[in-house]
Amino acid sequence: MDASSSLINLESSSLKINEALGSKKDIKDLVENAKTVLASVSGEFFVIL
């Protein structure tokens, strides 16, 4: 494998890692939002009772 191929592979791997990190952050944000919504709904449920 020559230097050019190695560089292309490195760039590709770097992009995949960054995409995965971005997805991880998106999932973490979704979970936090879901927790907030569930806590809010749960609180409203107990107020109604």
Q: Output the pLDDT for position 40.
A: 86
Tokens of 35: 């927790």
Tokens of 38: 């569930």
Helix (H) / strand (E) containing 11: helix 3-48
Number of domains in the chain: 1
Q: Output the pLDDT for position 48.
A: 56
The CA distance from 38 to 40, in Å, is 5
- Structural domain including 25 reads 1-49
The CA distance from 39 to 49, in Å, is 16
Residues 6+ apart with CB under 8 A from 1: 9
Q: Output the pLDDT for position 32.
A: 92
Q: Output the pLDDT for position 5.
A: 93
Chain segment 1-49, per-residue pLDDT in tens: 699 999 999 999 999 999 999 999 999 999 999 999 988 887 766 555 5
